[in-house]
Structure 1
Amino acid sequence: MAVLQMQRISICALKKNRKQILELLQRLGVVEVNDVIPEDSLFKKSDVTKGRTLLDKNVNRANDALGILDTYAKEDTSMLSVLNGRTEVSTTLYNEFYDKHDEVLRVINQIISLERSIAENKAKVINLQLQMEALKPWMNLDIPIDLKGTKSTNVFIGALPNEWTLDTVYEELATYMPMHIDIISTSREQTCVLIVCLKEKSDEVLEGLRKIGFAKPSSAGKEPPVKQQEELENQLNLVKQEIENAKETISSLASRREDIQFFTDYDSMRTEKYDVISNLVQSKNVFVLTGYIAQKDAPLVEKAFGDNFDVAIEFESVDEDDNVPVVLKNNSFSAPLEGVVEAFSPPGKGEIDPTMIMSLFYYMLFGLMLSDAAYGVIMVLGCGILLLKYKKMEENTKNSLKMFLYCGISTIFWGVMFGSYFGDVVDVVSQTFFGVHKTIPALWFYPVNEPMRMLTFSMVVGVIHLFAGLGMKLHQSFKLKQYKDAFYDVVSWYLLLISSILVLLSTQLFVDILGIGFTLPPVVGKISGVLAVVASIIIILTNGRESRNPFKRFLKGLYALYGITGYLSDVLSYSRLLALGLATGVICTVINKMGSMAGGGITGAILFTIVFIFGHTLNIGINALGAYVHTNRLQYVEFFGKFFEGGGRKFNPFNVKTKYYKFKEKTYDE
């Protein structure tokens, strides 16, 4: 409903209390800290780079350790466990964790070390397996591969490319006889051979072997291949056992998962604190903290610090030139849509919070686009049950579910108005399985049967939405006491648009196109035409008023008047209400018809149930997503385009930004 009034806060306290003060301020989470006070000869800023780097390293290592635990001992959680929110713990437990911090860090380092050893041992396993694979062709060799020979002979052990027979090898080496040749093994890729020759002919034999592609084996050793294979296999088993032992140790450390999660949050909070310390100016004995706080939270801070510390707190009104952060405050109906506004941009200076008015149209437009009562019931039940069951869920998740809950209520309303309950499922089921014609009548009309009526209604909704945007601009101008701008930029456009609509409604052609059952009297059209001309003249003469050159002013005025075509395109954008609404209904009808194609009976009922569940699940997912996207689009482009520019800076308080736990601070009376 409003942008909260902000104040500048300054806190001066003893340096010995800095840690406790910052931790309390962090848990309160109501102050955004900045560094507007410059350094001087007495007050300096602290260099906390070293400490912050160490904390970042700790947090990263803790996250790595948690990732390792998830790999080897995954936490047993359900898909909806994320809705439980973070575990709430007391500040006492937080303070006590300091004593076990270093011990948990050792556990983290142990887990990372074990994972590193597993990775190294896996590399060893691959290496050993490659060595064993390389030895397989030599298993029939009963002497060491690196045997050189005897006193009078040389031994060559190696491989020839491709497949060779003993005769072909002898033929190739016939000129180097005498020699002894054995084929150890052969395959398409290579032939492993052992050749014994006289020592004085070894050079010639080696040259001959090279000519036919002889190559020494990559694996060698002083033991026969069989013995080497046994040793490698023993090593492989030992390494695999080390891997299994490391995995078991990691799995046993899964019991420390919560401690590691707490460690992550603990050091993350300390990291935030170090960021704040870097913005403080401090002397030998005192420090000064400055920042922004919402005016409503000022008594909370005064009470919290006044009860615990000797501290001087000063609140000041913000200057007009200050880059003040923005905090939105809305009721439970509109608050779920604050995220939608902030996704566009927080309000800029002088702008109002559009959330309340936007929420009325947001829920209505979403319901119009989905417009099936049964789908709305599913959304309401689903979101409602989750909200009731998981009461400690995170605020952002809760707001999202509330938003879709209200969207579901709107969908139910428009579904009832348009007579859509899973499309025409009542009619299809009654005719297919019971042979009677039963249907639930629409309270208003069936858009599928009267698309032009739905299109007209969509345009009317669009005009109202755009007029609401202009109304917001009018309110904003009055708030800033820009009365001339309010008249020239808003009232004149109201006059032009309303009179133009009245002119169109007085023409029979326009009325026939829209299928409206009435036509305004010609006199209304004539008066409206005159008013439209007057409004056009006002727009032409005033929209270039910032320019001193009359010619430029006139041209800018004409260009501004051309903006009426923009309003026409904006209104046409609301035809998506018709398109998406019809898409939901038509697809529902198609799904129901497909399900009933097998006719009645047990087989037909089974087929219908399968098609019904699968088809409507898919349809509600796709069309709800489409409704969400296009509703946002209408807000951002058409509605915000009339008055809202944004450009504000979101309030970023010094608070507890944790992932696993939230710390409950005692409550202070405001």
Structure 2
Amino acid sequence: MFRPEEMVKIEVITLNRYKDTLLTYLHENGAVEVRDLRVRVAQKDSPSEYHRKAASYSITISRLVDFLREYRKKGKGGIKEFISPPERPKKKYRYEGIENLIKEVEGFLFRVEPEVKAAEGKINSTQAEIDKIKEGMEILDLLSFLKVDVSYLRSTNMLEVVVGTIDRNRFKPLVEEVQKATEGRTVLVSRNFKDKVLVVFVFLKRDYEKFNPVLAKYSLERIEIPEGKGTPKELIREYEEKLRTKEKELEQAKKDAETLAEKYYDDVVFYQELMENERDKSAVLPMLARTNITFALTGWLPRVNVPEVLGGIKRITEGKAYINIREPREDELEDIPIKLNNPGWAKPFEMLTEMYGVPKYDEIDPTPIITFTYSFFFGFMLTDFMYGLIVGLVAALLVKGHRKFNDGTYKFAYTLLISSFFTMFMGAIFGSYFGNALDLAGFHVPRVWDTFENALIVLQLALAIGLAHLFTGYTIGFTVKLKNGDKRGAILDQLSWMLIILGIVVLALASGNHNAKLTGEALFGIGLLLFAVGEVINNKGLAALLIISDFFGFVGSWLSYARLMALALATSGIAMVVNILVQMIWGFKLLYIGPIIGVILFIGGQLFSVAINSLGAFVHSLRLQYVEFFGTFYSGDGKPFEPFKAKREVSELELEA
């Protein structure tokens, strides 16, 4: 806790014949982050023919998955499945080398791919025919004012027929220019619709070269005449019959696709996952070095996983491997990947830390601290017992349903669950239960402070909390810099602000005590002097300007904690407005309309208030961590630990013993 997982460097050299099995073991174990190995005496490794096939088959199978997913039977879904989704069953696969796996996938694709592609082709071609029929019907509907056979609207050996639409304001100049270009040898029929004109031109073929540029000039949108004979209305009836036939064909094709999805979908997804993992394995091959008979790899490994990984490597290689485990060198500190190491109660809050950035290897992990401060600030801002209860109940259901997945939903719900306890606690302190609903109902609600009546006290409390939060950050920064040997930075950049904050606190509590006032002034003065010296050393010529800028930056950060009071007031204010509206409506007793609308308004309004104020509390509580608190000591510039790890949702690999 407070420190990232201790990491060690692992270096392995063994025989080429163990490469595939060893990489598979490390991939399934997921404890090593493989790094690029640069050595002069050996060449880089590269993906084999089988690895290239795995990448290709991964793409092929993904296309099959996309098609079959569309036609597989959907689950029930809904809120119940969102709250508690079922686990996907895993199918076991005994791994006996990439060659055997590729052969098995090839056999599977040989059987399945033609069937799936045939079904896909049938659906696509039928859908294309349906679209063409519908397009033809739309055109025929446009032409329905004509009482002639549509075959007359097609060009002949001597005549050219053009049908199209044009903007109404361009139609008249188009006709004039067409008649002029063809010397009056053009016949036309037109009809207005909306802001367009549908027009049929008939002219001699020999005039086409004169006619066509004019149409292009006025942007005539040509219409392709549908196939068939008869008037447009007669053809529409024929097309409707064709459409019904094709829609039945499409429905049958989709049923066939559903049958294939039920038969093959799980297997296709299974092989897709196997291929994607093989593709991921091949991505590390260029990081390895090899000779004709050996290969070498290196990477970072958490110290706690060393015994397990060493035992696995020795077992896979039958003891024929050189393994070196060493401590990180001083020059490698910036390169060490960071894996956060927190107890179970704080682990879900690592998500919030990682959103900002993980610490460097020689920094403090702030996760245990923000587990408390984030949750407390959230509760202070939402500050309503019933709101906290609602948030807590929803979060508890999500935590229970998603615990087995340890996914983002579980982690986020866990943070809300912890925050809900603080919300209920602060709600009891301020006597807020759906705002002032209980007060309006005639109940006596005990409270320490009232959000509105004691707004100044709430503001003072918020600013006091802000000072404590900032002091904690500067203290952590002081400790870290001192431990890392940066004494000047610890004193000038961190201790200075610690003394300034202590001086402010002592002066605020002095209450006429002369000695306490002198002590506060001394602490503040010494802190300010150290701060000024630090600015001069760090910024030289710009020191005078930056002293003012950075000092008021601190003041701004401190005053930023006033948002604790502001959001607490906003929560109470919105809840109060809802309650007042309900109270106004409640008195209308005719047919119980007032109480009915009042209940609906109360429930809807309070749920809206829970949602909007929870969002505000989440965002602003996070901001106080990221901007104000982290700004005092934390960089977040570490490199996250990215282990060489398989993704297993529907498959489970069994390695040879």
TM-score range, shorter chain: 0.7 to 0.9
Q: Give the Å deviation of 1:342.
A: 1.3
Report the equivalent of 1:274.
282
Report the equivalent of 1:169.
none
- 1:318-329 maps to which residues of 2 (within 5 A)? 318-322=328-332, 323-329=335-341
Which residue of 395, 405, 418 maps to 1:393? 405
Q: Deviations over 1:532-570 (max 9, x none)?
A: 3333333333554468xxxx38x6388447633222111
Q: What is the DSSP-based 3-state SS (H/G/I as helix, E as strand, rest coil) of the residue aligned with 1:392?
A: coil
Name the TM-score, length of structure 2 as normaliser.
Answer: 0.79
Which residue of 566, 588, 593 maps to 2:575? 588
Equivalent-residue separation in structure 2 for 1:662 and 1:505 (angstroms): 64
Q: Contact 1:14 / 1:285 at 8 angstroms: preserved in 2?
A: yes
Report the equivalent of 2:258.
251
Q: Deviations over 1:276-310 (max 9, x none)?
A: 22222223333222111111111111223334432
- 1:460-471 maps to which residues of 2 (within 5 A)? 460-471=464-475
Q: Give the Å deviation of 1:452.
A: 0.4
- When structure 1 is superposed on structure 2, of 447-456 and 253-262 the one drifting more is 253-262
Report the equivalent of 2:88.
87
Q: Contact 1:588 / 1:619 at 8 angstroms: preserved in 2?
A: yes
Report the equivalent of 1:118.
123
Report the equivalent of 1:621.
611
Structure 1 pair 303–605 and aligned structure 2 pair: CA distance change class (3 A): farther
Which residue of 650, 654, 657 maps to 1:661? 650
| Aligned-residue RMSD, C-alpha | 4.3
Structure 1 pair 466–192 and aligned structure 2 pair: CA distance change class (3 A): closer
Q: Deviations over 1:438-471 (max 9, x none)?
A: 13211x2111221001000000000000000011
Report the equivalent of 1:536.
528
Equivalent-residue separation in structure 1 for 2:360 and 2:528 (angstroms): 30
Q: Give the Å deviation of 1:242.
A: 4.2
Which residue of 506, 522, 526 maps to 2:514? 522
Q: Contact 1:146 / 1:222 at 8 angstroms: preserved in 2?
A: no
- 1:244-643 maps to which residues of 2 (within 5 A)? 244-255=251-262, 256-310=264-318, 311-312=320-321, 313-322=323-332, 323-428=335-440, 430=441, 437-442=442-447, 444-506=448-510, 519-545=511-537, 552=540, 556=543, 559-560=546-547, 563-599=550-586, 602-643=592-633
Structure 1 pair 291–593 and aligned structure 2 pair: CA distance change class (3 A): same
Q: Contact 2:364 / 2:480 at 8 angstroms: preserved in 1?
A: yes
Q: Contact 2:387 / 2:423 at 8 angstroms: preserved in 1?
A: yes
Q: Contact 2:349 / 2:367 at 8 angstroms: preserved in 1?
A: yes
Equivalent-residue separation in structure 2 for 1:641 and 1:114 (angstroms): 59
Equivalent-residue separation in structure 2 for 1:5 and 1:219 (angstroms): 75
Code of the aligned partner of 1:536:
L
Q: Give the Å deviation of 1:528.
A: 2.6
Query: Which structure's CA Rg is the greater one?
Result: 1
Q: Give the Å deviation of 1:486.
A: 2.6
Structure 1 pair 486–186 and aligned structure 2 pair: CA distance change class (3 A): closer
Structure 1 pair 24–143 and aligned structure 2 pair: CA distance change class (3 A): closer
- When structure 1 is superposed on structure 2, of 21-30 and 604-613 the one drifting more is 604-613
Same amino acid, percent of matched pairs? 25
Equivalent-residue separation in structure 2 for 1:438 and 1:140 (angstroms): 84
Q: Contact 1:370 / 1:581 at 8 angstroms: preserved in 2?
A: yes
Q: Deviations over 1:306-336 (max 9, x none)?
A: 3443252321111222211001111122212
Code of the aligned partner of 1:320:
E
Q: Give the Å deviation of 1:618.
A: 1.3
Report the equivalent of 2:8.
7
Q: Deviations over 1:12-34 (max 9, x none)?
A: 33322322222221111111011
Report the equivalent of 1:199.
none
Q: Structure 2: any 5+ residue segments left out of the alignment? A: 166-188, 209-214, 216-222
Q: Give the Å deviation of 1:652.
A: 0.4
Equivalent-residue separation in structure 2 for 1:160 and 1:493 (angstroms): 82
- When structure 1 is superposed on structure 2, of 472-481 and 648-657 the one drifting more is 472-481
Q: Give the Å deviation of 1:405.
A: 0.8
Q: What is the DSSP-based 3-state SS (H/G/I as helix, E as strand, rest coil) of the residue aligned with 2:298?
A: strand
May I ask how many residue pairs the two structures share in their alignment?
603
Q: What is the DSSP-based 3-state SS (H/G/I as helix, E as strand, rest coil) of the residue aligned with 1:314?
A: strand
Equivalent-residue separation in structure 1 for 2:328 and 2:406 (angstroms): 32
Structure 1 pair 480–557 and aligned structure 2 pair: CA distance change class (3 A): farther
Structure 1 pair 318–90 and aligned structure 2 pair: CA distance change class (3 A): farther
Q: Give the Å deviation of 1:59.
A: 3.5
